Amino acid sequence: MHIPDGFLDAKTFVALDVVGAGFVAVAAARARRALSERAVPLMAVLAAFIFASQMLNFPVAGGTSGHFAGGALAAIILGPWAATLVMTLVLVIQALVFGDGGVLALGANVFNMAVVTPFVGYGLYRLIRRLWRNEAGRFVASFAAAWLAVVAAASTCAVELAISGTIPLAVVLPAMTVVHAVIGVGEGLITALALGALRATRPDLLELAPGGGAR
C-alpha cells in the first residue's frame, strides 16, 4: 500500500502532503494535551513493533503478499490522534531510510495509513464495543476494526491513483479492495491477538492513554 514516487501527479501528491502535514500537526497538539509523559515509551514501543511487523510479509494469492499495517492497533490502544503520530514516524523512517514509499508521496501514505486506518479502525472498534461489551465483543471489535481499516486505506489509495490518471478506477479499486480484504484477515487476527496478549500481560499499559479504546 506504500505509494512510490511517480505514481501520483503533482496536484494529488502536493494536496495530500498539505493534508497529511495538517493532520500530523493537529495530532501532535491533541496528543500533547491528552497523554502523560508515561505514555511516550508506549508510543515508542508500538512504533517499533509496527515497524518490525511491517517487514514480515505473508502470501495472499496469485503471487501477491501483504503485511501488517498496525494503524487500528495503535488507535485502539492510544486513541486515533496519538496513533497518527506513531504511524507517521514509522512511515517517515521507511521512506527516508529504507525507500519504502516515495518521499514526494509521503503525504499520501501518511493520509492513507496514519489517518484513515487509525480513525476508521478506532471508530468501528468503539461502535462495536458499545453494543457488545464482553470479551468476545472485544475480540470481534478489534478484528473487524483492523479489517475495515485496511480495506478503507486500500480504497483511498486506489482513488488517489485514479485521480492521478495512473490506473482507471474501475480497474484499481476492485483489485486493491479484493486483495486487501484478504490481507485484512491477517491484520484483524494480529490486532486481536496482540491486544489480547497486552491485556493479559500488561493491562496497566492500557491505562496510560485516556483517549484509547482498549476497554
Specify which residues 22 forms β-bridges with.
none
Range of the domain at 36: 10-207
**In this structure, is residue 30 part of a structural domain?**
yes
| Ordered alpha helix ranges (H), the chain | 10-34, 39-54, 71-78, 80-97, 106-110, 117-131, 135-163, 169-201
Give the domain CATH number at 16.
1.10.1760.20
Map grid coordinates 502523560 to a residue.
36
Q: How far is CA 145 from CA 4, 17, 71, 116, 119, in A?
A: 26, 26, 10, 12, 10
Specify which residues 65 forms β-bridges with.
59
pLDDT at 2: 86
Q: What is the dihedral of CA 75, 77, 81, 87, to 10 degrees?
A: -60
Query: Exposed, middle or buried, 10 (CB in 10 Å: 0-12/13-18/19+)?
Result: exposed
Question: What are the grid coordinates assigned to 140, written together?
Answer: 470481534
**In this structure, is residue 212 part of a structural domain?**
no
Residues 122 and 141: their CA atoms lie apart, in Å, by 10
Residues 17 and 201: their CA atoms lie apart, in Å, by 39
pLDDT at 212: 56
**In this structure, is residue 122 part of a structural domain?**
yes
Rounded to 10°, the helix 117-131/135-163 angle is 150
Into how many domains does the chain fold? Answer: 1
* Geometric angle at alpha carbon 211, from 135 and 74, rounded to 5°: 70
pLDDT at 34: 77
Asked whether the beta carbons of 114 and 70 are under 8 A apart, the reply is: no
Question: What are the grid coordinates assigned to 93, written together?
Answer: 523512517
**In this structure, is residue 55 part of a structural domain?**
yes
Within 10 A of 106 (CB to CB), how many other CB atoms are there? 25
**What is the reported pTM?**
0.91
- Give the three-state DSSP class for 138: helix
| pLDDT in single tens digits along all 215 residues of the chain | 789 999 999 999 999 999 999 999 999 998 888 777 778 888 998 999 999 888 776 665 544 456 789 999 999 999 999 999 999 999 999 999 988 889 999 999 999 999 999 999 999 999 999 999 898 999 999 999 999 999 999 999 999 999 999 999 999 999 889 989 989 998 999 999 999 998 888 887 777 665 555 66
Contacts of residue 196, defined as CB under 8 A and 6 or more positions apart, other chains included, come to 138, 139
**In this structure, is residue 177 part of a structural domain?**
yes
pLDDT at 64: 45
Which residue type sits at 172?
Answer: V
**In this structure, is residue 3 part of a structural domain?**
no
Residues 97 and 57: their CA atoms lie apart, in Å, by 19
**In this structure, is residue 110 part of a structural domain?**
yes
**In this structure, is residue 214 part of a structural domain?**
no
